[in-house]
Structure 1
């Protein structure tokens, strides 16, 4: 109600009152009556003002109460919504953190790699190609020497492609196939442990080189640990633990190859574990046959053999190391527990042999032949290496023992065991100043990474390395007896020049001089030895 309307109402009331009073009072008192009316009118105006103020206050209080009621209702609704959401979440199983969506593609060392954003799951493509070209100047000592000639030519030593990766950070896997035909210990002429199928001109067979699963989530005693199983490269001996992409010569020394072929080496089925830290490495594996080996009962030619199994163990370390220098020492052991057994004749045999540290021609120059009645074999070795700046020295030596007391229904042959031995020593020097870093995970030395990769535009010339090695292997024992073995004694001197174009390409040039001392049989002194010189070059691409 407006102030004007309220005033008019008051005046009307005052007029009515005045008229009634006028009737009761005398006209002579009109002035007093007017004064009294003014006073009453003023009191009415004050009451009206108070009433108006009270009305305004009530309106504001009502609006505030409405706002507070709305806010309280909203708060209560929010609380009820939160309670409902909490009840709904309580009914849903708790899950781990959600993995980031999307992937990251990288090219470490030019290897195509796809990983999740958290790098806990990865898959990468890996490959290597080793193509060899070379020739021999071979001189047999006599007309009865076998062979009379070694063939020059070329050979795809390794041609591998596959994938490697990991799941959830700790599960590692590898699947690699080798299309090359001359993998050591993998079938072919003279491979230890029997005969294989699928011969190729290079003396071997193609097949699965790696197919294994490894768990690395355990970290006991302040180090790292891997538990693995499948077909893999067994990190047994220093030379074998060094990748074929990083070795200083085109081939490893014969003594190590012959030792590994018994129950270790490439393409080997195995299950085992290894533990390491910066100074110490320890590992042990139970091993089976190699990929492609015949181990099913059969009467076809060649007859099948029962599955062989053995075991290997190695302890090695880097006890002395510093800025630009290191010392490595280690010891190895290998046991052939169950030799391959022919399912038709029940014979258990073992062949120790190797080609002359080159794979252009597949012919072996030293070989025990099939040692009959073998019940088991053992190999014990020592290893040592040292680096100083760009210089590295490395050597290993092995002692072999072959037991011939097999319980196969066949009589034992002569003495109960045969003993052989062999080893190598090698040195290398990088002319351009790079050095080989120590790899604690395999207790071996890595390859050379050029500080200035070759580039006509950039002026770099890569890295250049020279190396030399002498190796020896003696496969003779108990000569001049019917039970003896005349496998031959081999000594080879090798000089090498290696050009590391970049991290993925390398060219290797090797010169070999070999002397083979051999007689026709254990009871014959007729010399069937030979000498040879060879030059070979390897083109290597790997990532």
Structure 2
């Protein structure tokens, strides 16, 4: 094609050179000659401009052809002062290829900004695959849609990511019984569930993460901190962390909130993770993974903001979390996951009310509704702990998984007349998932958890491409009825099951992924919460409640 264009240009130039003198000689007057000369000069200038445009196109096509036929060495380019007729500025001519499919299962996963920190070598390898612009030794690119600025050797880098989730929906059939209060169960409302701006600074294997969250609660208007930590990634497949962080011990929590099958985690997972972990928990520790296993452990302290929300705290919490997970069997169509997670609070925050806490949660829907599940107040706490197994099984596009946890609470023996029990609570969930179209959920060994489906082709109805769609179901039970007996001076105060209540939730949901950055969710929830013996007759859960909810979510992640 380049030869054909050059031949046409040459032929046009030759003909014009031969033709124009004869035209000039045919003129019959000086005025006509002058007009003809001006016309010829204008045509000549236009031809020069056309030749310049054609030459630019030839160079561009040759460059693109070279990219496909041979490996090109990329050299650093420096931005120099441009001339008055040059583009301002001009960095490269070749158009970047746009990846729309078909994508392999590994390359098709949705963008998850909350993943583990990459090592320097992994960062260089990953960013080398992405289109970037070089400006005076600085590379600007968009790996996985995340704006990233890096030095030419990738030693210095800064990136910004996003996770934005907007929930909308309401409750049905949550009627009050007797004189109990109606509670807060809106028929239709909205909530900015997560609005996180992920900011990351890198110097080689040292990475600093700071992530504010403008949707850090069950109702709009709460601004908080998701994380602020320093990480070292220079050891093989290992990340060491110090700062405000979310150490993860459950498979469900390890998936990251952008990849959940449902809007929220099962209640038992939420309760366990917040004993000594949870969002913005001060942590010192690390995790290491291999192809078939992962182990992690952290010493933890208080949460960010604890002493602001309760200014009477005089002795902060300390604790620890631990997780070990493995894949005993792996094949193309089958993945088997087993693991164990454990957490302990050596001591909880000492406040003006002593060392107290209470387990409570919503009905696994975050629209600002009244919390019905509660353990009642737990006072004089010596320590708390939880532990349990994890299991997951994938066959092609079908995934089945579940977890069970037991929570133990030990009271202080403050007086010889008190016989403090070790109170126990239990909870579990079972979830099933099937990907209708797109790549099915896969296993990520870096987090030892299953992650979201893959989008083989971006949504394009004209070409019969619809993204990815999955359907899920879940059953979860959390039992906070106390087990154990408290005695004072020989008198029984509380017996088994006398305080606290139990919650059962059934979920069904559809998740659609039009591309790797957008997710649309629709969940149906049916819940049943037993009565709470310690409640007043006017409380929302005095007689127990059941009801339904339909909630949607739109999510963007970069």
User: Normalized against structure 2, the TM-score is what?
Assistant: 0.70
Corresponding residue of 1:213: 230
State the SS of the aligned residue for 1:431: strand
Match of 1:483 among 484, 494, 497: 494
Secondary structure class of the residue paired with 1:503: coil
Could you say what secondary structure the match of 1:307 adopts?
A: coil
1:513 is matched with which residue: 509, 516, 526? 526
The separation in 1 between residues aligned to 2:207 and 2:242, in whole angstroms, is 11
SS at match of 1:466: strand
Residue pair 1:478, 1:522 contacting (<8 A) in 2 also: no
After superposition, residues 185-196 of structure 1 pair within 5 angstroms as: none
Structure 1's 519 and 140: CA in aligned 2 closer, same or farther, altered over 3 A?
farther
Q: Residue 135 of structure 1 contacts residue 535 of structure 1 at CA under 8 Å; is this kept in 2?
A: yes
Return the offset for 1:181: 3.7
How far off is 1:448 after superposition? 1.9
Q: Quote the offset at 1:139 in angstroms.
A: 3.0
Query: What are the equivalent positions in structure 2 for 1:493-504 lying under 5 Å apart?
Result: 493-504=506-517
- Name 1:129's counterpart in structure 2: 164
Q: What is the alpha-carbon distance in structure 2 between the residues aligned to residue 459 and residue 105 of structure 1?
A: 34
Residue in 1 that maps onto 2:358: 351
Question: Of residues 458, 466, 469 in structure 2, which corresponds to 1:453?
Answer: 458
Q: Give unpaired runs (5+ residues) of structure 2.
A: 1-134, 486-491
CA contact (8 A) 2:166 2:192 kept: yes
Per-residue CA distance 1:173-221 (angstroms, 9 max, x = gap): 21110010416xxxxxxxxxxxxxxxxx55x9422211111111123xx
Q: Which residue of 2 aligns with 1:538?
A: 553
Deviations 1:128-169 (A, max 9, x none): 11100011114356324455451241101011113124211x
> Where in structure 2 are the equivalents of 1:325-336 lying within 5 Å?
325-336=334-345
2:284 to 268, 271, 276: 271
CA distance in 1, matches of 2:552, 2:418: 44
Q: 1:397 to 1:412 in 2, by over 3 A?
A: farther
Say if 1:159 and 1:180, in contact at 8 Å, map to a contact too. Answer: yes
Flag structure 1 segments of 5+ consecutive residues without an equivalent: 1-99, 184-200
2:497 counterpart of 1:492: no
Alpha-carbon shift at residue 121 of structure 1 (Å): 2.8
Distance 1:411 1:154 in 2: 52
- Residues in 1 aligned to 2:484 and 2:287: alpha-carbon distance in whole angstroms: 41
Write out per-residue CA displacement over residues 316-373 of structure 1, whole angstroms, 9 at most, x where no aligned residue: 012211113211100011111111111x35x110111111000112421101132111
1:449–1:296 CA distance, 2 compared to 1 (3 A): closer
Give me the whole-angstrom Cα distance separating, in 2, the residues matched to 1:104 and 1:431: 39
In structure 1, the partner of 2:250 is: 237
- The 8 Å contact of residues 243 and 284 in structure 2, kept in 1 or not, is answered as yes
2:258 aligns to what SS in structure 1? Answer: coil
Q: Hey, what's the Cα distance between the residues in 2 that align with 1:412 and 1:447?
A: 54
Within-5 A mapping of 1:276-355: 276-294=289-307, 298=311, 303-342=312-351, 344-345=352-353, 347-355=354-362
Residues 272-304 of structure 1: CA deviation (Å, up to 9, x unaligned): 121110111111101111111127994xxxx33
Residue deviations 1:355-400 (CA, integer Å, cap 9, x gap): 1000112421101132111111110111011111111111100001
8 Å Cα contact 1:518-1:527 kept in structure 2:
yes
Relative distance call for 1:482 and 1:143 in structure 2 (3 A) is: farther
For the residue of structure 2 that corresponds to 1:429, the secondary structure is strand
